[in-house]
Amino acid sequence: MPLPPPSVERTRKHVRNVQLDGYKRSDGLWDVEARLTDVKDQDYPLASKTIARGTPVHDMWVRVTVNAQMNILEAIACTDAMPYEGMCDSIHPDYSKLVGLNLFQGFRKSVKALFGTTSGCSHITELLMFLPTAALQTFASDIRDDEDSGQKPFQLDKCHALDSHSDAVRRYYPRWYRSLKTG
């Protein structure tokens, strides 16, 4: 269901697109790629240059390679469009510091510590925040969500619909349902 129509007239000024793609590699590892683009609907004057309407202000990429435990084995960043050429893209090598992090164990906190404020590119760093859930969805492509391996399914207790006390868990994952006893 789309959003309801706006109640007042408006003019679009900016479009940001974020795309995430997950890949299973032939060597048994996984790649997650993220791309961010920003485009203005009007010419955009900056101190460095004027960016023509419809031309990306930002076009930035990041890719991480992970193993089945979600440990990052390789990380790379690149930029195809930026406001400050030769400056914005000079931070790319620093993103190799992601190697060794785990997407599910303190990843977002570590990213903020490594690349917060002027220690990284704010746009690439923002892209990184999407990686854990994109990786989860990529892995989910190979795992039946109701497969009973004896271990609690990874998706439970990750959102309100799949809280261990919810009707969805009671209905679809009864083994893992936990009743809330009141009173």
Q: Inform me whether the pLDDT recorded for 147 exceeds 90.
A: no
Q: Given this model, what pLDDT does residue 144 score?
A: 65
pTM: predicted TM-score of the whole model, two decimal places: 0.85
Same domain flag for 165 and 104: no
1 inside domain:
no
Q: Is 34 in contact with 128 (CB distance < 8 Å)?
A: yes
Tokens at 72, concatenated: 């990052």
23 inside domain:
yes
First to last CA, the chain: 39
156 inside domain:
yes
Q: Which neighbouring-strand residues pair with 50?
A: 45
Same domain flag for 82 and 94: yes
47 inside domain:
yes
- Band of pLDDT at residue 141, cut at 50, 70 and 90: confident
Per-residue pLDDT tens over the stretch 23-62: 999 999 999 999 999 999 999 999 999 999 999 999 999 9
Same domain flag for 152 and 138: no
Same domain flag for 163 and 135: no
Q: Taking all residues of the chain, what is their mean pLDDT, rounded to a whole number?
A: 92
Angle at 72 between CA 71 and CA 77, to 5 degrees: 160
Same domain flag for 109 and 74: yes
- Band of pLDDT at residue 139, cut at 50, 70 and 90: confident
Task: Report helix, strand and coil shares of the chain as percent, to nearest 5.
Answer: 30, 25, 45
82 inside domain:
yes
Tokens at 87, concatenated: 């400056």
Q: Given this model, what pLDDT does residue 48 score?
A: 94
Domain of 182 in residue numbering reads as 146-183
Q: How many CB atoms lie within 10 A of CB 131?
A: 28
Same domain flag for 62 and 122: yes
40 inside domain:
yes
User: Within 13 A of 11's CA, how many CA atoms are on the CB side?
Assistant: 4
d(CA 95, CA 121) in angstroms, rounded, equals 10
Q: How many CB atoms lie within 10 A of CB 41?
A: 12
Q: How many CB atoms lie within 10 A of CB 12?
A: 8
Which residues, at least 6 apart from 24, have a Cβ–Cβ distance to it below 8 Å?
Answer: 30, 138, 141, 142
83 inside domain:
yes
Same domain flag for 90 and 177: no
d(CA 89, CA 58) in angstroms, rounded, equals 11
Domain count, the chain: 2
Q: Is 93 helix (H, G, I), strand (E, B) or coil?
A: helix
